[in-house]
Amino acid sequence: MPAGVDLRSLAELTAPERAFLSVYLSRPKAVGELDRRLKAIRRALKAGGEAAKDEREHFDENVKLVRDYLDKHPPKSGSLCLLACWALDFFKAIPLAAPVPDLVMIDASPYLRPLAELEDEYENVAVVVADNKKARIFVVSSAVAGDAEVVKGNVKNHVRKGGWSQQRYERRRDKQLLLYAREIAEALVRLSQEEDFRRIILVGSKETLRVVHEELPQRLRAMVAEKAVNLGGSREHETVNAEIAALFAEQERQSEADLWETIRVAYLRGGLGIVGIDAVLAAAQQGRVETAIVDRTYKPEGRRCRDCEHLEPRVVEACPACGSKCVFAVDLVSDLVDLLERTSATIDFADPIPTLTDAGRVAALLRY
């Protein structure tokens, strides 16, 4: 997340009716399409009759806030999230380095699913690019690299001389490599104390990476994915970036598969694993969820009651709790995100996994 964005604080914001307007713009040119989307929503609210009168007022005032911001601060690059609630005197603009889809949503709380997906997909990663001469160490956050720390190495090439001379040279060389790798490992330890990351990607000389891996403490070693790459040449930057992206994607997919397997085994053994949107939402409302996994293509729709605020995880014409017909559509995964953020639980958005699809496309591991 960009600095100053706290998803938990945003998830705790609620308002009467559908008083929140959430706007996501994929690029600066998307501003030109925004008016068409806003007018379409206004027409739908007008068709709601007297029941939607308050929502129309909230919407109109929120649109003024959004337009005023865009007039004064026209976006020049990247994606943008705008959250507005005139009823709560709340407005927040969040520039995003990573892409989001164009969306306009109205609800009783800010629509946070795209932000939660970005937080999951673009979590902080420590990256080391190293050969025998130099190592660059930096943190990539939301797809943007931070300042790099440089560690200089002085590891000589192997020699082909024979006898004692070669053995002394190799011992000296091994010591240089060990000290160099130890300095890189110490830099990563310092970085882990200053920055929050769960993954480390090592790219570069196979020999250097092997010794760096060995010098890392166990807690950091468990985070590592590495790939030997010949550094140097006119396309070094392009090659290294491609390898880093591939390693991160590989780590992310493996992490998703491991989490689902943990939940699946717990569920099959009658333990703390649960599956399906009904069960996961109910547990999240009770604060029992430790971590959840959701198929990122899953978009289940439910209904919320305007009168008693009951959330129903299916499409109904009337509220099953109070009988009111004043119900409106909600994105159940976004509501799940809100519930999990409020209770300090985590959520992982996964690429489709066949067994997760068969189990209902959403699952969770419980605290108790």
Euclidean distance between CA atoms 9 and 5, whole angstroms: 8
- Domains in the chain with CATH codes: 1-111 (3.30.960), 121-231 (3.30.420.60), 255-368 (3.30.1330.30)
pLDDT, tens only, 36-45 = 999 999 988 8
Residue 120 is predicted with a pLDDT of: 84
Residue 304 C-alpha from the chain's centroid: 26
Euclidean distance between CA atoms 43 and 245, whole angstroms: 43
Q: Which residues pair with 239 in a beta bridge?
A: none
pLDDT at residue 161 above 60?
no
pLDDT: is 311 or 48 the higher one?
A: 311
Residue 159 is predicted with a pLDDT of: 45
- DSSP strand E in 165-258: where? 199-204, 224-228
Return the number of other C-beta atoms located less than 10 Å from residue 206's C-beta. 12
pLDDT, tens only, 51-93 = 678 889 999 999 999 999 999 999 998 999 999 999 999 999 9
Backbone angles phi, psi at 191, to 5 degrees: -65, -40
pTM: 0.79
Average pLDDT, the chain: 88
pLDDT: is 229 or 40 the higher one?
A: 40
pLDDT at residue 252 above 90?
no
Backbone angles phi, psi at 136, to 5 degrees: -110, 130
Burial of residue 114 (number of CB atoms within 10 Å: 0-12, 13-18, 19+) = buried
pLDDT, tens only, 288-336 = 999 999 999 999 999 988 888 888 999 999 999 999 988 888 999 999 9
